[in-house]
Amino acid sequence: MRIGELAKRAGTTTRTLRYYESRGLLTVRRDAKGYRTFGEEDLRLLRQIRMLRDSGFDLEETRPFVECLRAGFPTGDSCPASLEAYRKKLAELDDCITQLQDVRDRVRADLARAEVESAARSAEAPAPRCELAPRTGASVTGEPAEGNTT
């Protein structure tokens, strides 16, 4: 198949495929007219790369899986290098999760402190006073204001 068909079947672009080719992840064969040609094994490689990228692997981290498939293994994670790449990614994810939990704990503590301080300020503050200003000529009680002789 040609590059356009492979891109369509893999759910990507021809530009991406050319980039993968330049990075050595996709091996290109050429027909008599010089067109790039690809086979089903290339589609399998691209699906493996996409699955790994969707799982957070950067492009270079997919290399052991691609090499494993190229070596003829039934899956990209059948090789020791692939298993090591999984272990490394899992350790990175665990580290990120730990960092996020630490941030969450700090935010939770800051919120609790702020709520306590806010409640303390509310308890200490005097109740707002709602006084009506006397209208000219009348007191708040409705009686004539001093000096008013009506």
Cα–Cα dist 119/111, whole Å? 12
More confident residue, 148 or 37: 37
Contact 36, 28 (CB under 8 A): yes
Which is nearest to 57 in space by CA: 29, 17, 92, 33?
92
11, pLDDT greater than 70: yes
- Domains, the chain, with CATH or none: 3-122 (1.10.1660.10)
Cα–Cα dist 39/94, whole Å? 37
With cut-offs at 50, 70 and 90, classify the pLDDT of residue 149: low
Q: What integer pLDDT is reported at residue 68 of this predicted model?
A: 96
Q: What would the pLDDT profile of 106-137 be if each residue is shown by its tens digit?
A: 999 999 999 999 888 887 767 667 777 666 66
Region of 34 please: left (phi>0), alpha (psi -120 to 50) or beta. Answer: left
1, pLDDT greater than 90: yes
Q: What would the pLDDT profile of 69-114 be if each residue is shown by its tens digit?
A: 999 999 999 999 999 999 999 999 999 999 999 999 999 999 999 9
CA 63 to mean position of chain CA atoms: 23
pTM: 0.69
Residue 119 burial (C-beta neighbours within 10 Å; 0-12, 13-18, 19+): exposed
Q: What integer pLDDT is reported at residue 140 of this predicted model?
A: 53
Helix, strand or coil, per DSSP, at residue 3: helix
Specify the residue for token string 């050429």.
Answer: 30
143, pLDDT greater than 80: no
Cα–Cα dist 49/43, whole Å? 10
